[in-house]
Amino acid sequence: MTAAPVAAGAAEAVAAAERLVPRLAERAAAHDRDAAFPVADFDDLRASGLLGLLVPERLGGWGAGFRAYVDVAVKLASGSPATALLYNMHASVTGALATVPEDLARQLGAPESFFAMRDRVLRAAAGGAAYGVAITEREAGSRLSAVQTTYAREGAGYRLRGHKSICSGAGHLDAYLLAARAEDAPASEDGRVSYFLVPGGRGLSVEDTWDPLGMRATASNGFTLDAAVPADALVGGVEGLAVLLAYGLPQWLVASYAAVYVGVAEAAVAEAARYLGDRVAHATGGSPSATRGALTKLGAVRARLGRADAQVAAARLVLQEAAARADAAPGEPETNRWVYRSKLLAGDTAQDVAASLAEACGLGALRRGGVLERLLRDARSGALMPPPSDVCADVLGTAALGLDPVAGTDVRPW
Ligand SMILES: Cc1cc2nc3c(=O)[nH]c(=O)nc-3n(C[C@H](O)[C@H](O)[C@H](O)COP(=O)(O)OP(=O)(O)OC[C@H]3O[C@@H](n4cnc5c(N)ncnc54)[C@H](O)[C@@H]3O)c2cc1C
């Protein structure tokens, strides 16, 4: 399979994203400085209709698939990586709900109430509702099978209790896809880790703890949860889907991040080229005066840019291949390998490229408040977002050995 071009409707969505880029870019430094949720960026996303990108047309959305999402997210990341990362969380929720095949959902036991809830949530996204993802806990990290937040039946619905340590957009979004384990399930039993769609607001106390190196404007604060939710908040309408879906259909949990970090890497190349072209320096031995673009006359500097260009192009092609396969053959073992390849290459490429270009640009890349300095910090997060590069590599190595990536190793990815 080769990376297909985006369809006509998807091209419109990419153009809509492109129109937002200058506005996102203009605000990015202030949001980064304050580690503040980008409220104005989300107002723009809402007005552009892009929150409904993955929502079927019958529910008021664009009806786009993974391939289109990738191009939109890469574009948004060129304006603000943190806003693109928040958009990725929203896309993971809406994309997974919109694209999990109905017959598979029915085979797994999904009741009619699930399809009604799915349509309601997706229609709201097309109307501007924004969603996040809450998996990570202090001790579990992003390992779904280890989460300790619990759910138990209460009246006609459920009560959820626990603590999530990192959640992008916590306190700013309409609802959160949240992983929890059945209160009466043994800690080691991952068959009863389930997803709930938990409304923002009552029962959710956000803690202002987020002050990281990069991706600061995701405002990924933690929260404590003690909330009653209706029965149809249980995603899929059946317990125990979270770990199953992570292994079977990993694209929205794995490759959606990849799009953001390919975008970060592309932005780093573009910004380094702009910076080097503008830089006035005495870099060409014997030149009597400093000249604009002098550093671009150095072969070593150009070679760093060229190597970065090739690395980014390779990461983007692998991402497009993974996306095309996720649309055409979701859940196939070969699709899933491409999904892990794309996350591994995107995370590693973003940080390698940003670090190398920082050396090409010198202190210009390290001066606080500069675009390259922010991209360098943002790029560092890619390899450690779930699944971390080492985990992706382990999954791929296990598959290359002909072993089962789910059961073939001692330490499981999820
Ligand atoms: C910018 C940003 C935004 C985020 N937003 C969200 C969000 O919206 N929702 C959310 O739920 N989480 C979010 N996270 C959290 C993210 O999912 C965690 O960083 C991730 O879960 C890993 O947890 P940890 O960093 O504590 O690493 P740990 O779990 O402490 O792991 C440390 C290292 O150990 C290795 N390791 C861990 N597990 C394995 C394994 N199974 N096999 C092999 N090696 C392993 C890896 O190298 C890993 O990097 C966000 C993180 C960042 C940086």
CA-wise closest residue to 256 among 132, 85, 126, 131: 85
CB distance 81 to 121 below 8 Å: no
Mean pLDDT, residues 375-388: 96
pLDDT band at 2 (very low <50, low <70, confident <90, very high): very low
Pocket test for ligand 1, best of 385, 392, 395, 410 (most atoms within 8 A of CB): 385
So what's the pLDDT on residue 287? Answer: 67
Residue nearest (by alpha carbon) to ligand 1 atom 7:
167
Fold of 132-241: Butyryl-CoA Dehydrogenase, subunit A; domain 2 (2.40.110)
Which residues sit opposite 137 in a β-bridge? 141
Question: What's the whole-number average pLDDT of the chain?
Answer: 93
Mean pLDDT, residues 190-216: 93
Please indicate whether residue 34 or residue 285 has the higher confidence score (pLDDT).
34
* From-to residues of CATH 2.40.110.10 in the chain: 132-241
Asked whether the predicted pLDDT for residue 125 surpasses 90, the reply is yes
**What CATH code would you report for 8-130?**
1.10.540.10
Query: Tens digits of per-residue pLDDT, 245-297?
Result: 888 889 999 999 999 999 999 999 999 999 999 998 886 666 678 888 888 99
Report whether residue 218 contacts ligand 1, using a CB cutoff of 6 Å: yes
- For residue 281, CA distances in Å to 271, 284, 301, 371 come to 18, 8, 13, 20
Which residues sit opposite 162 in a β-bridge? 225
- Least confident piece of the model among 123-127, 188-192, 205-209: 188-192
CA-wise closest residue to 250 among 405, 370, 109, 79: 405
* From-to residues of CATH 1.20.140.10 in the chain: 249-400
Q: How far apart are CA 47 and CA 57, in angstroms?
A: 17
CB distance 199 to 175 below 8 Å: yes
**How many helices and strands, by DSSP H and E, does the chain display?**
12, 9
CB distance 113 to 232 below 8 Å: yes
So what's the pLDDT on residue 246? Answer: 87
- Least confident piece of the model among 16-30, 155-169, 384-398: 384-398
pTM above 0.85, yes or no: yes
* From-to residues of CATH 1.10.540.10 in the chain: 8-130
Asked whether the predicted pLDDT for residue 4 surpasses 50, the reply is no
Q: Does domain 249-400 have CATH number 1.20.140.10?
A: yes
Asked whether the predicted pLDDT for residue 3 surpasses 80, the reply is no
pLDDT band at 5 (very low <50, low <70, confident <90, very high): very low
Mean pLDDT, residues 362-389: 93
Report whether residue 142 contacts ligand 1, using a CB cutoff of 6 Å: yes
Say how many Å lie between the CA of residue 314 and the centre of ligand 1: 25
